[in-house]
Amino acid sequence: MKKMEMIYEGKAKKVFQTDDPKLYIVDYKDDATAFNGGKKGTIADKGVVNNTMSAIIFEILEKKGIPTHMVKLISDRETLVKAVKILPLEVIIRNVAAGSFSKRYGVEEGSSLAKTILEFSYKNDALGDPLINDDHILALELATEEQLAAVKKYAYAVNDALKEFFLDKGLKLIDFKIEFGLCDGEVILADEISPDTCRLWDVKTNEKMDKDRFRRDLGRVEETYQEVLARIKR
Ligand code: UDP
């Protein structure tokens, strides 16, 4: 597989065309941003952790019947993926109150929720990724009704699979963000699943084991990313 022209560079990843128009190569960087680009830094070897962890998780999700963009891992920072058109939605699942939810609704971080929450943000940096609902998505034609139904079904299925997977590694899945793309007209899971996109708390100590260590200057950032990967590989 030949790595060709770079077609996109995001905050944490670069995407390259290949000699097959149906396949892209994703290359994970160590760059970290938070607060919509307001805080910038690097986390040494984050790219390796996020690439490896995403590959392991996508394989597990495929086995559970959730279609993903994953084709195969090609190096410690690169994965071959199916070319998709990303739906401009950040799909967030919350099992426990944290982050922007706690702030917005005045609920203490760590409070349990009477119901699992699925929420959407409109993926638009210029607007600061505003919270949107189903009607907004349909009215703005960000997805069709069928696509929206598939997104929701897969998002809950990802949550069920990941809650169990992480608990087995001594980690509580507090919340996470996923993104979907269209491949031959079908909705499939794309982007990444990593400590950048999930809140993971140690089951015993409630220690934060995710990007909040970078966002909130909690220290031991690199060590924590390595620890999460080590647990996942066990
Ligand atoms: N998240 C993400 N990218 C974003 C926004 C959120 O991966 O642009 C993840 C975040 O890591 C957390 C979950 O989505 O696991 C919920 O984030 P929240 O809305 O609480 O926002 P935050 O507090 O991160 O600003």
Pocket test for ligand 1, best of 50, 86, 92, 221 (most atoms within 8 A of CB): 92
Distance (Å) from CA 183 to ligand 1 centroid: 25
Q: CB–CB of 142/122 below 8 Å?
A: yes
For 50-88, what is each residue's pLDDT tens digit? 999 999 999 999 999 999 999 999 999 999 999 999 999
Do 179 and 197 share a structural domain?
A: yes
- With b for 16 or more beta-carbon neighbours within 10 A and e for fewer, the 64-81 pattern comes to eebbbbbbebbeebbbbb
Both 71 and 103 in a single domain? no
pLDDT tens per residue across span 148-181: 999 999 999 999 999 999 999 999 999 999 999 9
Q: Which atom of ligand 1 is nearest to the CA of 198?
A: 15
Structurally, the chain folds into a number of domains equal to 2
Place 35 in a pLDDT band, splitting at 50, 70 and 90: very high
Helix (H, G, I), strand (E, B) or coil at 33: strand
Residue 173 belongs to a domain with what CATH number? 3.30.470.20
Residue 28 lies in a domain: yes
Two structure tokens written together for 221: 């950032």
Average pLDDT, the chain: 98
Q: Which of 50, 82, 114 finishes a domain?
A: 82
pLDDT at 1 over 90: no
Distance CA 8, CA 32 (A): 17
pLDDT tier at 188, thresholds 50, 70, 90: very high
Instruction: For residue 54, give its domain range.
Output: 3-82
Are 21 and 57 in a shared domain?
Answer: yes
Those residues with Cβ within 8 angstroms of residue 7's Cβ, 6 or more apart along the chain or in another chain: 15, 16, 17, 24
Atom of ligand 1 nearest to the CA of 35: 25
Atom of ligand 1 nearest to the CA of 176: 15
- Which of the listed residues 35, 66, 82 is the one where a domain comes to its end? 82
For the chain, give the number of residues: 234
Phi, psi angles (nearest 5°) of residue 155: -60, -45
- 100 band by pLDDT with thresholds 50, 70 and 90: very high
- 185 within a domain of the structure (yes/no): yes
